[in-house]
């Protein structure tokens, strides 16, 4: 389909100014592979300083609030993140769905708020091990995607990340056949909502223990359009091979 690969690091609650050298080195790795779109979703405290040194890699946020402003202590609006230098944000990551109790409706509202502030969005979906073992993964995750999908979803501002929750940070991944089946199911679900042509242009990333050893095999799968990478994105030495695998 000619979809440009998108490889994004999610630093989660990691990173101080001492790590800005890694951001700069990852930007250099991104510049060496211009066919790949590369980004880092960083703690909000690093966005402004990282944006100044990230070079060819965009800087994104890890979440945003669905409101523009108000009495929401500790939260950040999409406009605040954009002003700090973010151009993308993650919404609906499993750790926020689980730890903060975010609903599908919350995720859709956050995606729309991000779009209104000029941010592009990576919308995360995924299943627990119980769901996977019960044989319901594709149906459950497809339903979660459709319930989380914002109005006006389009490939020019939205990407989807499939992250099997049980694989995040564990080193375990589904079989390649299972990844292929899930990504195909998600594209089919998107097609039913936004039309086959638009769904064909939307990037669907794989998240869940992607690293330099497995990235090439994962991204060779037809409907895998890149990766949302956790621990392997914290250093250029580990992230650069993932970027290269997408090139």
The CATH number of the domain where 70 resides is what? 3.20.20.70
- Quote the number of domains for the chain: 1
Residue 74 covered by a domain = yes
**Alpha-carbon separation of residue 226 from 5, 8, 215, 242 (angstroms):** 5, 8, 9, 9
Structural domain boundaries enclosing 156: 6-246
- For 89-126, write each residue's pLDDT tens digit: 999 999 999 999 999 999 999 999 999 999 999 999 99
User: Global pTM?
Assistant: 0.97
- For 50-95, write each residue's pLDDT tens digit: 999 999 999 999 999 999 999 999 999 999 999 999 999 999 999 9
pLDDT value of residue 2: 79
Q: Which residues are annotated as a binding site?
A: 10-12, 169, 209, 230-231
CA pair distance 114, 88, nearest whole angstrom: 8
pLDDT value of residue 170: 80
Residue 61 covered by a domain = yes
pLDDT value of residue 64: 98
pLDDT over 70 percentage in the chain: 100
Is residue 209 pLDDT above 70, yes or no?
A: yes
Strand pairing class (120-125; 88-91): parallel
Residue 224 covered by a domain = yes
Residue 99 covered by a domain = yes
215 vs 208, higher pLDDT: 215
Confidence of residue 172 (pLDDT cuts 50, 70, 90): confident
Residue 1 covered by a domain = no
**Alpha-carbon separation of residue 193 from 41, 46, 113, 187, 197 (angstroms):** 28, 36, 20, 10, 11
Is residue 189 pLDDT above 60, yes or no?
A: yes
Q: Which residues are annotated as a binding site for substrate?
A: 10-12, 169, 209, 230-231
Is residue 1 pLDDT above 80, yes or no?
A: no
CA pair distance 90, 219, nearest whole angstrom: 20
What value does the mean pLDDT of the chain take?
97
Is residue 173 pLDDT above 90, yes or no?
A: no
pLDDT value of residue 168: 82
pLDDT value of residue 171: 79
Query: Does residue 115 sit in helix, strand or coil?
Result: helix
Residue 96 covered by a domain = yes
Catalytic residue positions? 93, 163
Query: Does residue 137 sit in helix, strand or coil?
Result: helix
Query: What are 207's strand-pairing partners?
Result: 228
- For 134-155, write each residue's pLDDT tens digit: 999 999 999 999 999 999 999 9
Residue 30 covered by a domain = yes
């Amino acid at each position: 389909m000619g979809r440009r690969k998108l490889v994004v690091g999610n630093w989660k609650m990691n990173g101080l100014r001492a790590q800005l050298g890694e951001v700069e080195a990852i930007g250099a790795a991104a510049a060496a592979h211009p066919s790949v779109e590369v980004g880092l979703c960083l703690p909000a405290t690093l966005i402004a300083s990282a944006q100044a040194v990230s070079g060819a890699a965009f800087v994104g946020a890890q979440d945003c609030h669905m409101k523009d402003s108000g009495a929401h202590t500790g939260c950040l609006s999409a406009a605040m993140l954009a002003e700090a230098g973010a151009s993308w944000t993650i919404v609906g990551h499993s750790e926020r769905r689980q730890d903060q109790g975010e609903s599908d409706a919350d995720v859709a509202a956050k995606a729309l708020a991000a779009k209104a502030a000029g941010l592009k969005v990576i919308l995360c979906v995924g299943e627990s091990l119980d769901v996977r073992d019960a044989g319901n993964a594709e149906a459950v995750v497809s339903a979660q995607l459709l319930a989380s999908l914002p109005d006006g979803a389009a490939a020019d501002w939205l990407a989807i990340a499939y992250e099997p929750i049980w694989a995040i940070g564990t080193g375990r991944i589904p079989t390649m056949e299972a990844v292929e089946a899930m990504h195909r199911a998600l594209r089919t679900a998107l097609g039913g909502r936004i039309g086959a042509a638009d769904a064909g242009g939307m990037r669907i990333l794989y998240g869940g223990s992607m690293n330099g050893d497995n990235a090439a095999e994962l991204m060779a799968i037809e409907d895998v359009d890149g990766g949302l990478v956790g621990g392997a994105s914290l250093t250029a030495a580990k992230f650069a091979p993932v970027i290269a695998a997408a090139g």
